[in-house]
Structure 1
């Protein structure tokens, strides 16, 4: 006799959404590659019109536009599809906060359930691109020029908006010179320099990255405010004369020993009363979210030896290296700025 099935105590909407979410990033990247957002910036279009302009069938155009609209990237008004504020701000190649390079890079990752299971079981980062783990290349100061420059441009697209958001909220009173360690494209120093006119900046990076950094600094006309210094942050002496040291999305790349080394080196490089500033997505102290920080932590596990930290872990790290006056300030889009001070000389 067939067994009666009990009605589930909840429906499967969440699981269904997660199942379908596998398509979201590829849809976004494909739309960017097809030029959907640039086309609709010039002129809103119907399903039929966009299909004709992009040489897509009506079926394909309908699915693409419906998906982008449901994701909040398009809005349909009077039969035409328009850009939303989000797509107009972050998905047009000519705009300063364009996310295209990092979207394309993410779509190239060898991410699959099997690759993730293997990574979790061995607790080691996945090799990709040229077959190497990227943090191994950073740690050995052996990042090839082409790979370094492509990665730097991708991370610039990921970070520039949040850099500008931070610059509007951070307090730099008393800071005269700030050292931006592993500052990538220099986007944080650029944003901070434009907002805080009395501060001088130094971006310290590996030699192949510095080539790109200097280009971004020059594009913003800030050569007189931002120095670019070639540096292996684990081995080379840090440039002197800075009363603040800044790490943005850096500590999460490394294991606990290297995180401690970086914070200890910053303590030793600062004068008494100097500040260290850390900009990260923080996990809750209960380590149960928020979702963006949790997924970023999984990204770190997949690609690096690092992870996202909780506020408590950062507090312990900073105080363990001698810093005091540790404070946490919500900054932009889920990011927090953590500030601590080297005690004044007695």
Structure 2
């Protein structure tokens, strides 16, 4: 049956399917009905995901969460504050309640869950999803009507460029990457140093805005880091170091890691969410540079998803990549091991539990 969505308002499609179910109903068994219920639940989740996206973005645009965070309000008060009809205000908060973002009693209140992820003024706010909400809003408002054309053609999302070519593009790009850093830095710091090491030097290749390095040197007093990143990102890094007060322990090294040599003589080298963007030939070239930059018995750390492309971050990035010229080369531990061995590394081990977005650490030694 051909579905003509131009005539949905005539209910032709609806009527045809109603007739289908009426004709079939006497033949349905309990097993059929249970299977339908299970499958319908999955379909509901898919449809409600689409609806929830627009509800969430609308609530953010209307400052609903911020208004209710200031003080719980009853429905007439909320309607007045948002300047919307009371009926629509009720429908909005009713659906937000189903998403566990508000509660409706005598007053309408935001939940602890909403405070944590959607209200920057909250003491419990964690900015993990916030940059993605902002970029998703821009993306949908500008490109939602032509998303299928983005899939079919090379239409690009102008607000994000990868790799960034100038400071403006770096400032747009870095918040997306930084959102995961506190969680990844906490994971990495557990495996980075032993207590016997003193004045350890590390090169952080493609080190983002400097947040990862700042967290690590705060946690490890004997660690000193050089950040190698594009010149366009250096002013952003310096702002981060100033904010974290880590300028005495971190040095910015402006360079293009694809073209320029690495500085030499490090105890450790870190690639955090960098190598996954490049094909094997480029990865081998970067690993060779890293090998030459390490001291004898120096260690390399690769922090990537280890062949587990799941999680909200992965899904979001895959969605946004429709409008960004970027590629992802997911590799298993065995594939990473082969590349490292090709460039002379040994004692290769995997440190991962997949507890955060499937990320793991691969560690190897220059012997």
* Pairwise CA distance, 1:248: 2.0
Summarize the alignment of residues 194-343 of structure 1 with structure 2, pairs less than 5 Å apart: 194-284=218-308, 290-292=310-312, 295=315, 298-299=318-319, 302=322, 303=324, 304-324=326-346, 325-330=348-353, 333-343=356-366
Indicate the structure (1 or 2) with the bigger Cα radius of gyration: 2
How many residues were matched structurally? 326
> Aligned equivalents of 1:44 and 1:309: distance in 2?
49
Output the TM-score relative to the length of structure 1.
0.80
Give the distance between the partners of 1:66 and 1:320, measured in 2 at CA: 58
Q: Is the 8 A contact 2:182 2:215 kept in 1?
A: no
Q: How far has the Cα of 1:298 moved from its partner?
A: 3.1
The answer to which structure, 1 or 2, has the higher relative contact order (CA under 8 A, 6+ apart) is 1
Tell me, what secondary structure is at the counterpart of 1:128? coil
Alignment of 1:49-60 (within 5 A): 49-60=77-88
CA gap of 1:38–1:235, structure 2 versus 1, over 3 A, is: same
Q: 1:10 aligns with which of 33, 36, 41?
A: 36
The residue number in structure 2 matching 1:118 is 152
Query: Does the 8 Å CA contact 1:205/1:230 hold for their aligned counterparts?
Result: yes
1:149 and 2:149 matched: no
Instruction: Tell me the distance in 1 between the aligned counterparts of 2:56 and 2:134.
Output: 10
> Which residue number in structure 1 is paired with residue 116 of structure 2?
89
Secondary structure at 1:275's aligned position in 2? strand
Task: Give structure 1 stretches of 5+ with no counterpart.
Answer: 120-124
8 Å contact from structure 1 (residues 240, 269) kept in 2: yes
DSSP-derived class of the 2:157 partner: coil
Query: Which of the two has greater helix per residue?
Result: 2
For residue 209 of structure 1, report the CA deviation from its aligned partner.
Answer: 1.3
Alpha-carbon RMSD across the aligned residues, in angstroms, is: 3.2
TM-score by length of 2: 0.76
For residues 331 and 93 of structure 1, the distance between their equivalents in structure 2, rounded to whole angstroms, comes to: 28
Show structure 2 runs of 5+ residues with no match: 1-18
Give SS of 2:262's match.
coil
Q: Please state how far the C-alpha of 1:75 moved relative to its aligned partner.
A: 4.3
Deviation track 1:122-150 (CA, whole Å, cap 9, x = no partner) reads xxx762207xx833x55xxxx13222212
State the 1:77 CA deviation: 5.9
Shift of 1:237: 1.3
